[in-house]
Amino acid sequence: MSGEVSAGPAPQDRQRHEGGSSEGVSALRAVANKWIGRSVTRLEDPPLVRGRGRFAADISFVHQLHMRIVRAQHAHGKIASIDTSAARALPGVIAVWTAADIAEVPPIDFREGRIPAFEPYRQPVLATEQVRYVGEPLAAVFAEDPYLAEDAVDLVSFDIEEMPVLLAAEAEPGEFSPGRSTEVSVIRQGYGDVDAVLRSAPIVVDLEVSIGRHSGVPLEGRGAIARYDAARDILELHGAAKVPHRNRDLLARMLKLAPSSIHVHESHVGGGFGIRGELYPEDFLVCVAAMRFNRPVKWIEDRREHLIAANHSRQQLHHLRAAVDNEGRILAIDDRYFHDQGAYVRTHAARVVHMTAGILPGPYRVPAYRAVGHFRLTNKTPAATYRAPGRYETTFVRERLIDAIATRLGLEPNEVRRRNAIAAHEMPYHRPLEALGEEIEHDSGDYVGLLDKLLAALDWDKRKAELARRRAVGEAVGAGFAMFVEKSGLGPADGVRIEVDGSGMVELVTGGASLGQGFETVMAQVCAEVLGTDYRRVRVIHGQTDRIAYGIGAHASRATVMTASATHNGAVKLRAKAIEAAAALMQARPDALEIVDGKVLRKAEPAGPSISLGELAEHLAPTSKTLGGREPGLCAEGWFRVKHQVYPYGIHFAVVKVDRETGGVAVEDYVIAYDIGRAINPALVKGQIVGGFAQGLGGALLEEFTYNERGDPLATTFADYLMPTTREIPEVHVILREDFTSPLNPLGIKGAGESGITGVGAAIASAIDDAIGMPGAVTQLPVTPQRLKEILNRSVSSPPRSRAAS
Amino acid sequence: MKPARFRYHAPKTIEEAVDTLAEVAGEDGRVLAGGQSLVPIMAFRLARPAHLVDINGVEGLRRLSVEGERLCIGACVRHAAFHTPVVDGPLGRLLATVVRHIAHYPIRTRGTFCGSIAHADPSAEWCLVATALGAEMVARRAASTRTIPAQDFFRGIMTTALEEDELLIEVRLPILPADTRFGFYEFNRRAGDFALGMALVAFRLQGGVIREPRVALGGIESQPRRIAEAEQLLAGRAAERAAFEAAAAAVASVVDPLEDAVTSATYRRDLSVTVTRRALERAAA
Ligand SMILES: Cc1cc2nc3c(=O)[nH]c(=O)nc-3n(C[C@H](O)[C@H](O)[C@H](O)COP(=O)(O)OP(=O)(O)OC[C@H]3O[C@@H](n4cnc5c(N)ncnc54)[C@H](O)[C@@H]3O)c2cc1C
């Protein structure tokens, strides 16, 4: 069952046709140009599998300095003094900076521009008067080698007057600074008269659920290497990927430089997940130091730093009340939640807490809705986006609600889903809520239809009976579902420039970015298919701000939707230009020509004369005699703009087995059904989904940034921050559907980057409830053995009930 | 994550090793065996030894042999050596069973049996084995050699009877009688992690009756320990569920579980019941 793509023109079929000779030359030729929908091998792999990739730590410049950060060891306190003299005296140490040394650099601003209300809560590059979390940068050491830099850090002493710590967002807010509360703001979204509906509803379901603090932990930690090239008056920053142009603009704003004088370069990336590639204190420090010392400056994060200094995510507590009718139809949802932002508001500002409110209703009709989100600071590492921000959290909350309604009414959870899901004929479905600054409009889909397909693929009735049989003989096994709507393809625009050189090689320059997801391959597939060449003849340049002026990068499952659409549009123009030029040279009508495998030829005469794209590029050179009145160059720009994001959807299914004695949970089976609209490369989509699942499993069962009562982080190594390994991850079956192509872009694409993670916490929680026969038992993620054991001990007094078998 | 400065010594013989250790022990000189515990804590600068005495080049410490009724495990014998039974009979099988629970394979190809004993993590499998079976630790310093029985060797969390200038040159395990049955059960959050709790039991079955029972727990208290109360309950009883449950209950009633910010004493106590009973069931199976 794994990785199948069904409905629509199945890519496997296209591949199968490729070898067929019986269908004649024209069919073969059509297949030769077919790259979209095929699981072709990745263009980016050859250097990676040969150990010749270039990750942040691989980037070095002659004469470079190494930076090391002195980090706060107290969760909250006043900085009485910092003594750097002993560190500065160490031979090989060039400088040790504290906040006073970079007084001209303002606190780190928001990526999308100024937000005056949040400004007081921004993080200074180096702590000024107070420290607010363990790990906060206090000072920076610059030395000739990284060992020396670390030795020098040991010699920096500081005197911190400890202050009381605030560690829970749901606790009474404290004072951030005189007269300023730790509650940064209260986010409100909603519609309808929720109070009236709650008053008159026959049933009101109450829920209190929480999601643990965890985050994206990429294999490659952060890194920042800056170099100021005085000869060109250019400041270069290497290391951060994801949003190079946005980062350039933010750097320019904060360092008071012209954007064009900063070049941000993306290299290979060992995972991004939303947290890597944002601008952090270290990025500013290396830039300022590179200019001040006139030497390149390199900083490579270590794992311990990563776990306390890079963005955390996810921690929320929801108090939710839902009004429901006697048939299980949701009439209203009233959600009050507490978002633990950690110590400062970082580059993302209120993105996660805001999206949480917008996205919570997900696939269901919710006639009246109110979400009130308390955006609060605590003395922990600052938080921001992590793969499926707001969706992992709200899918857990919302699907716990579905289960609770099912239990209350004695219905199957999937029946509750059917009764509430937005129907296919209601598309596009508009909801007066916002996500990422856009009004939500579900573009297309059939949620119940996908559920039916999943149930059929699972042979659900048989499986359900089998699980019941196993439970009857004492095994604690159970199954759970989670339905969700993703959002993807964040606009508003993306552009590419495509140019063919004299060898016929195509260069595609984009402001998109790669986080290792196969971006180059996918763009090359789209470009090659539209243009009519081999995808291996397309070189994709991304994440280089000196090559293209505009770009929004890779996040929010946007890259394939936005950049591939721009690529499509650019390739259409390029193709037209090639055909037009070739028509003149070949004395043919443009519509009698086509481009196959990089050659323009007559449709009627495929074996006849042809002209290659490389030759055409030479004909179109500025000095060419055959250029005529045309704009020189075989090149084109393609742009794509959207008003709304795309809303793909999916369902997760989990089977778990609980060890009642230890509280251990093993995932026996996991299936993800997902409608992607159109899969450019099904194998890569599957990779995204399976990888996302693994991370979701971490958040469901293992990963948690824990703190003691003093605010000391406890999960600062991989011995305490537990990530799932191959031994904990079951094989994931992906049912990839192309049922509803998106009407919002030329290829019908929906994003896929986050769909594997979104429903994991929800589905596993539901399966655990089912396994132990205690509906609604799981209210907190991650479900650690100790927490589950406590739940099970509670049940010793009240014997297990079975929920209406779903 | 860069260790502080240290001096590196690479002796070639046991004599050279203990002489070097005698010289540098006063300045926090340490033995470097597989490095799988020491190097990470040096990278965190939680340990800053001024000298490392690397014993990996000492030929005389590689031996793994049976002498009389003892299996002698030299200080350079890696965990991975035990993947296939190193002696016939139950001891070889026991070691081959337990070793698969220690970390992951790459770590097992470097980490050493004796290093694990010297490091004395409360959750280390080899420390539990040494305790359960009554190992002898052979400690050598420049002038003398002494043998320390397991019950005197472990002195709490990462603390042992070894002196700073002593090299643990080998650990000796008794060869188990052929009719010995053993059972091992470990619970951890992920495969390869240190145990949250584990039990190793061994006994002989004679006419369906348990003789010479050994019940040892690891990961629950600050050091592995044999639980005499449970052993007394088992001796002379049939190898049946009732006896196992009684023994497991006895364990829970006497253990003094570790508690940390993430794991409560209650949880560990509950776990001690489960791991004991399951280890006994495996032994009986
Ligand atoms: C990811 C990971 C997971 C792990 N999981 C487990 C696990 O599940 N169970 C487990 O038991 N272990 C585990 N370990 C630890 C591993 O088994 C180590 O190999 C072992 O604890 C120490 O052995 P070593 O040879 O590596 O010793 P080293 O790291 O070289 O030394 C450890 C300490 O013992 C001292 N020492 C070493 N040898 C001698 C000697 N002959 N005489 C005197 N002192 C000596 C050293 O000076 C040092 O203080 C894990 C390690 C890692 C990295």
pLDDT band with cut points at 50, 70 and 90 for residue A10 = very low
User: Which residues form the domain of B12?
Assistant: 7-54
Q: Is there a single domain that holds both residue B156 and residue B127?
A: yes
Across the range A773-797, mean pLDDT stands at 93
Q: Is there a single domain that holds both residue B161 and residue B260?
A: no
> Which chain A residues are closer than 8 Å to B2 by Cβ?
146-147, 150
Strand, coil or helix: what is A84?
A: coil
Beta bridge partners of A673: A651, A735
CB contact under 8 A, A147 and B274: no
Q: Is there a single domain that holds both residue B221 and residue B201?
A: yes
- What is the tally of structural domains in chain B? 3
- How many residues comprise chain A? 806
Token pair recorded at residue B51: 């000298």
Q: Is the pLDDT of residue A24 over 60?
A: no
pLDDT digit string, tens, across residues A288-301: 999 999 999 999 99
CA of A607 to the centre of ligand 1 (A): 70
User: Which ligand 1 atom sits closest to the C-alpha of B39?
Assistant: 29
pLDDT digit string, tens, across residues A595-619: 999 999 999 999 999 999 999 999 9
Q: Which of B130, B146, B174 is the last residue of a domain?
A: B174
User: Which ligand 1 atom sits closest to the C-alpha of B31?
Assistant: 47
Cα–Cα dist A36/A24, whole Å:
21
Q: Is there a single domain that holds both residue B148 and residue B251?
A: no
Q: Is the pLDDT of residue A303 over 60?
A: yes
Whether B88 contacts chain A with CB within 8 A: no
pLDDT digit string, tens, across residues A216-254: 999 999 999 999 999 999 999 999 878 999 999 999 999
pLDDT band with cut points at 50, 70 and 90 for residue A554 = confident
For A:138-177, CB contacts with B below 8 A are: 146-147, 150-151, 154
pLDDT digit string, tens, across residues A320-348: 999 999 999 999 999 999 999 999 999 99
Does B144 map to a domain?
Answer: yes
Give the list of residues 6+ apart from residue B86 with CB closer than 8 angstroms, or none.
B64, B71, B92, B95
Q: Is there a single domain that holds both residue B258 and residue B201?
A: yes
Does B65 map to a domain?
Answer: yes
The whole-number pLDDT of residue B212 equals 97
Burial class (CB in 10 A: 0-12, 13-18, 19+), B59: exposed
Does B270 map to a domain?
Answer: yes
β-strand pairing of A4-6 with A732-737 = parallel
Amino acid at residue number A543: G
A56-164+222-269+276-309 placed in CATH 3.20.20.70: no
Q: Which of B127, B158, B174 is the last residue of a domain?
A: B174
Q: Is the CB of B33 under 6 A from ligand 1?
A: yes
Token pair recorded at residue A249: 């603009």
β-strand pairing of A183-191 with B209-218 = unpaired
For A:768-797, CB contacts with B below 8 A are: 784-786, 789
The whole-number pLDDT of residue A798 equals 57
pLDDT digit string, tens, across residues A729-758: 999 999 999 999 999 999 999 998 999 999
Residue, of A21 and A700, whose pLDDT is higher? A700
CB contact under 8 A, A720 and B4: no
Read off the CATH number of the domain in which B39 is found: 3.30.43.10
pLDDT band with cut points at 50, 70 and 90 for residue A8 = very low
The whole-number pLDDT of residue A31 equals 59
Q: Given this structure, which CATH class describes domain A11-32+491-641?
A: alpha beta
Token pair recorded at residue A685: 């989509």
pLDDT digit string, tens, across residues B146-177: 999 999 999 999 999 999 999 999 999 999 99
Q: Is the pLDDT of residue A5 over 50?
A: no
Q: Is there a single domain that holds both residue B212 and residue B122?
A: no
Q: Is the pLDDT of residue A720 over 90?
A: yes
> Which chain B residues are closer than 8 Å to A150 by Cβ?
1-2, 45
> Which chain B residues are closer than 8 Å to A666 by Cβ?
none
User: To the nearest whole angstrom, how far is the Cα of A726 from the nearest Cα of chain B?
Assistant: 9
Q: Is the pLDDT of residue A17 over 50?
A: no
Q: Is the pLDDT of residue A99 over 60?
A: yes
Give the residue among A482, A464, A340, A313 at the shortest CA–CA distance from A401: A482
For A:307-346, CB contacts with B below 8 A are: none
Give the list of residues 6+ apart from residue A395 with CB closer than 8 angstroms, or none.
A362, A482, A484, A758, A759, A761, A762
Q: Is there a single domain that holds both residue B169 and residue B200?
A: no
The whole-number pLDDT of residue A643 equals 86
Q: Is there a single domain that holds both residue B170 and residue B65?
A: yes
Cα Rg for chain B, rounded, in angstroms? 19
Q: Is the pLDDT of residue A510 over 60?
A: yes
pLDDT digit string, tens, across residues B238-272: 999 999 999 999 999 999 999 998 899 999 999 99
Q: Is the CB of B30 under 6 A from ligand 1?
A: yes
CB contact under 8 A, B1 and A302: yes
Q: Compute the mean pLDDT over every residue in chain B, rounded to the nearest whole number.
A: 97
Q: Is the pLDDT of residue A12 over 70?
A: no
Q: Is the pLDDT of residue A708 over 80?
A: yes
Across the range A653-658, mean pLDDT stands at 98
Q: Is there a single domain that holds both residue B213 and residue B227?
A: yes
Whether A710 contacts chain B with CB within 8 A: no
Spatial strand order in the sheet of B225-226: B180-187, B197-206, B209-218, B225-226
Most ligand 1 atoms within 8 A of CB, residue of B119, B126, B137, B172 to mutate: B119
> Which chain B residues are closer than 8 Å to A789 by Cβ?
267, 270
> Which chain A residues are closer than 8 Å to B6 by Cβ?
none
Q: Is the CB of B160 under 6 A from ligand 1?
A: no
The percent helix, strand, coil of chain B (3-state, each to 5) is 35, 25, 40
Cα–Cα dist A303/A257, whole Å:
32
CA of B108 to the centre of ligand 1 (A): 10
Give the residue among A424, A521, A269, A517 at the shortest CA–CA distance from A740: A424
Q: What are phi and psi of B34, to 5 degrees?
A: -75, -20
Torsion angle defined by CA atoms of residues A667, A673, A678 and A680, in that order, rounded to the nearest 10 degrees: 20
By C-alpha distance, the chain A residue nearest B188 is A664
Does B22 map to a domain?
Answer: yes
Across the range A65-73, mean pLDDT stands at 98
Across the range A544-572, mean pLDDT stands at 92
Q: B106 to each of B64, B80, B111, B192, B239, how far by Cα in Å?
A: 20, 9, 9, 11, 38
Cα–Cα dist B3/B28, whole Å:
14
CB contact under 8 A, A789 and B262: no
The whole-number pLDDT of residue A553 equals 87
- Do B123 and B199 touch, CB atoms closer than 8 A? no
The whole-number pLDDT of residue A557 equals 82
CB contact under 8 A, A724 and B194: no
The whole-number pLDDT of residue A242 equals 87
The size of the A-B interface in CB pairs under 8 A is 59
Domain boundaries in chain A? 11-32+491-641, 56-164+222-269+276-309, 316-489+644-797
The whole-number pLDDT of residue A797 equals 57
Q: Is there a single domain that holds both residue B67 and residue B84?
A: yes
Mutation for testing the B interface, residue in A301, A661, A792 having most B CBs under 10 Å: A661
Q: A656 to each of A475, A643, A764, B15, B47, how far by Cα in Å?
A: 11, 41, 7, 56, 41
Fill in the DSSP letter of residue A676.
Answer: -
- Do A680 and A654 touch, CB atoms closer than 8 A? no
Does B2 map to a domain?
Answer: no
Does B203 map to a domain?
Answer: yes
> Which chain B residues are closer than 8 Å to A663 by Cβ?
267
CATH number for the region A316-489+644-797 comes to 3.30.365.10
Nearest CA to ligand 1 atom 28: B35
Q: Compute the mean pLDDT over every residue in chain A, rounded to the nearest whole number.
A: 93
Least confident residue range of A694-698, A795-799, B120-124: A795-799
Give the list of residues 6+ apart from residue A104 with CB closer than 8 angstroms, or none.
none
The whole-number pLDDT of residue A499 equals 98
Does B100 map to a domain?
Answer: yes
Q: Is there a single domain that holds both residue B167 and residue B225?
A: no
Q: Is there a single domain that holds both residue B68 and residue B157?
A: yes
Cα Rg for chain A, rounded, in angstroms? 28
CB contact under 8 A, B2 and A150: yes
pLDDT digit string, tens, across residues B83-95: 999 999 999 999 9
pLDDT digit string, tens, across residues B207-236: 989 999 999 999 999 999 999 999 999 999
The whole-number pLDDT of residue A489 equals 86
By C-alpha distance, the chain B residue nearest A664 is B189
pLDDT band with cut points at 50, 70 and 90 for residue A805 = very low
Q: Is the CB of B25 under 6 A from ligand 1?
A: no
